């Protein structure tokens, strides 16, 4: 006899395998012991009641009671009035089998890889408060089939915030919620023209997502003023993907004249601008720069997420779309929400509306500014010959290296347990602009107590002064 999952009135579910010879009593004794011994039932796990287990297994209630009683006497279980029958705490299961890690899979000691926030700084208390408030206020239909546009509460909150803080011209009906920036690119892929211009330095992962839709990407050179959008007319592209708030990874905003120029190109060429508002919230030494979308909402798709400002694990992002594209995007996404949970959407809506989001951003600007300053000071002291750029905003800096030293510097960093990126990994394979040697150093990821030691190791990996 084999069975089964128990769904008891006490709320305890238990799967037991009754098999082999002997009485049902002995089979049940063996099954419970094995479940505890293997660690599948850890200490303090509450077991189903006699009635629930006997009903599910088809065993007399007295038999179950006798088994529980004997296992209590043997020390496998405990039974207290009002607490039910539980696995004894002194029964320690053997440790699970662990594969011996290969040397190549060893995690770095110091994580200075870019693009991630400090996970330890997540505002747990404020988020929990918003979650409780949002779930209590949610209408019943919020727990049914999800609307692919996203929860109206979140779209309303975003419309207000983006208009006020980022200069986006938006109505809530023009917002579609998605599971982050990468998901947005996947949804837009089937709707983009056959050729899309991208910045010569950017994430290969994003270029691959576009290419996965059968679209060719062509590189735009970049300089201290951002992407050279004046070259778009030579690229035969129908759309361009930009990071105008803070070019990723080289840093710096798109110059005002180029912002106007790319909008003029889109109007003249009937083109489309994809605006990745990367690091738009984190600025330190400059006035806030509004979104390009505010210059022409009919020509710009504005893309944002909370992966840097809050957490990448929440998988929440948004698209602000031209009105003519709403139906096409929803047709690609499908008839129901399959990606972002309604609970997270409702919580974020409350988190934004009650002001907790902006309070968190202000606090983290101070934290990240301090880390940025700490990085700059460490380099001034230990490697003054290394120029730092791209630090007026964002969560990373670029360390410009002497020509031909990037590969050896990365190898030295790995030996010291430092995770850091080289600029060459971001270069478009078809780019014609000169190669740049450098490191892309993230200062968002390490916990506060680990930051100083991470910088010390980084400085040791840098090439000496010529």
Looking at 306, 332, 358, the residue that finishes a domain is 358
Domain that holds residue 23: 5-87
Mark whether 226 and 283 lie in a shared domain.
yes
Residues 398 and 292 in one domain: no
More confident residue, 81 or 9: 81
CATH assignment of the domain containing 80? 1.10.10.10
The answer as to whether 137 is a domain residue is: yes
Residue 45 maps to a domain: yes
Domain shared by 127 and 276, yes or no: yes
Burial 389-406 (b: 16+ CB within 10 A, else e): ebbebbbbbbbbbbeebb
User: Residue 316's pLDDT band (boundaries 50, 70, 90)?
Assistant: very high
Same-domain pairing of 418 and 343 = no
For the domain that residue 251 is a member of, what is the CATH number? Answer: 3.40.640.10
Query: Are 344 and 368 in a shared domain?
Result: no
Predicted confidence (pLDDT) per residue in 261-297, tens digit: 999 999 999 999 999 997 778 888 767 788 999 999 9
Same domain, yes or no: 266 and 349: yes
- For residue 2, the model assigns a pLDDT of 47
In a domain? residue 92: no
96 within some domain? no
Percent of the chain with pLDDT strictly greater than 90: 66
pLDDT score for 82: 67
What pLDDT is recorded for position 299?
Answer: 98
pLDDT for 7 beyond 50 = no
State whether 411 and 311 are in the same domain.
no
Query: What is the predicted pLDDT for the residue at 222?
Result: 95
On whether both 170 and 268 belong to a single domain, the answer is yes
The secondary element (H helix, E strand) that includes residue 39 is none
What mean pLDDT value characterizes the chain? 89
Question: Each residue of 161-175: pLDDT tens digit?
Answer: 999 999 999 999 999
- % of the chain at pLDDT higher than 70: 92
Give the pLDDT score at 106.
58
- Count structural domains, the chain: 3
As a whole number of angstroms, the distance between CA 437 and CA 400 comes to: 6
Tell whether 275 and 153 lie within a shared domain. yes
Looking up residue 432, the CATH number of its domain turns out to be 3.90.1150.10
Q: Quick check: is 97 in a domain?
A: no
How much is the pLDDT for 17?
78
Q: How confident is the model at residue 460 (pLDDT cuts 50, 70, 90)?
A: very high
The residue-averaged pLDDT of 400-428 equals 95
Residue 193 lies in a domain: yes
Task: For residue 97, name the pLDDT band (cuts at 50, 70, 90).
Answer: low
User: What are the tens digits of pLDDT across the range 196-242?
Assistant: 999 999 999 999 999 999 999 999 999 999 999 999 999 999 999 99
Report pLDDT for 141.
94
More confident of the two residues 105 and 251: 251
The pTM score is 0.79
Does 437 score more than 70 pLDDT? yes
Sequence-distant (6+) residues with CB within 8 A of 103 are none
pLDDT at 8 over 80: no
**DSSP per-residue string spanning 163-184:** HHHH-----GGGEEEESSHHHH
Same domain, 133 and 78: no
- Check whether residue 335 and residue 389 sit in a common domain: no
Domain boundary among 310, 329, 358: 358
The answer to whether position 136 is within a domain reads: yes
CA dist 335 and 292 (Å) reads 31
What pLDDT sits at residue 154?
98
**Does 176 fall in a domain?**
yes
CA distance 132 to 301: 33
- Last residue of some domain: 288, 323, 358? 358
Residue 67 and residue 17 share a domain: yes
pLDDT score at 74: 83
Average pLDDT over residues 48-76: 85
The residues pairing with 396 across neighbouring beta strands, listed in sequence order, are 442
């Amino acid at each position: 006899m084999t069975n089964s999952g128990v769904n008891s009135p006490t709320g305890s579910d238990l799967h037991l395998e009754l098999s082999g010879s002997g009485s049902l009593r002995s089979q049940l004794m063996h099954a419970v012991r094995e479940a505890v011994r293997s660690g599948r039932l850890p200490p303090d796990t509450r077991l189903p009641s006699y009635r629930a287990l006997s009903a599910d297994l088809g065993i007399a209630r007295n038999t179950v009671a006798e088994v529980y009683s004997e296992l209590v006497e043997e020390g496998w279980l405990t039974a207290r009035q009002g607490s039910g029958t539980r696995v004894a705490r002194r029964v320690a299961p053997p440790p699970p089998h662990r594969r011996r890690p290969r040397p190549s899979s060893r995690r770095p000691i110091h994580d200075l890889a870019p693009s991630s926030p400090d996970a330890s700084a997540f505002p747990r208390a404020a988020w929990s408060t918003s979650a409780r408030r949002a779930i209590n206020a949610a209408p019943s239909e919020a727990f049914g089939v999800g609307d692919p546009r996203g929860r109206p509460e979140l779209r309303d909150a975003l419309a207000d915030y983006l208009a006020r803080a980022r200069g986006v011209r938006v109505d809530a009906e023009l917002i579609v919620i998605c599971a982050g920036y990468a998901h947005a690119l996947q949804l837009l892929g089937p709707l983009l023209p056959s050729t899309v211009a991208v910045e010569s330095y950017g994430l290969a992962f994003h270029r691959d997502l576009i290419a996965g839709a059968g679209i060719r990407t062509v590189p735009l050179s970049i300089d201290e003023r951002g992407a050279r959008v004046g070259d778009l007319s030579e690229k035969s592209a129908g759309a361009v993907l930009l990071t105008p708030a803070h070019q990723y990874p080289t840093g710096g905003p798109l110059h005002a004249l180029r912002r106007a120029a790319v909008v003029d190109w889109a109007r003249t060429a009937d083109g489309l601008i994809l605006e990745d508002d990367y690091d738009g919230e984190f600025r330190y030494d400059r006035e806030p720069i509004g979104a390009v979308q505010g210059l022409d909402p009919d020509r710009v798709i504005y893309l944002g997420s909370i992966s840097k400002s809050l957490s990448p694990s929440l998988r929440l992002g948004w698209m602000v779309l031209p009105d003519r594209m709403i139906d096409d995007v929803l047709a690609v996404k499908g008839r129901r929400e399959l990606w972002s949970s309604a609970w997270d959407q409702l919580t974020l809506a409350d988190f934004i509306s009650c002001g907790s989001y902006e309070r968190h951003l202000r606090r983290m600007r101070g934290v990240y500014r301090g880390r940025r300053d700490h990085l700059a000071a460490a380099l001034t002291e230990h490697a003054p010959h290394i120029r730092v750029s791209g630090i007026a905003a964002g969560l990373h800096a670029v360390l410009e290296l002497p020509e031909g030293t990037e590969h050896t510097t990365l190898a030295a960093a790995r030996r010291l347990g430092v995770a850091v990126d080289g600029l060459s990994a971001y270069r478009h394979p078809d780019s014609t602009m000169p190669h740049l040697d450098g490191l892309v150093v993230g200062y968002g990821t390490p916990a506060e107590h680990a930051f100083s030691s991470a910088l010390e190791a980084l400085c040791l990996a840098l090439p000496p002064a010529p």
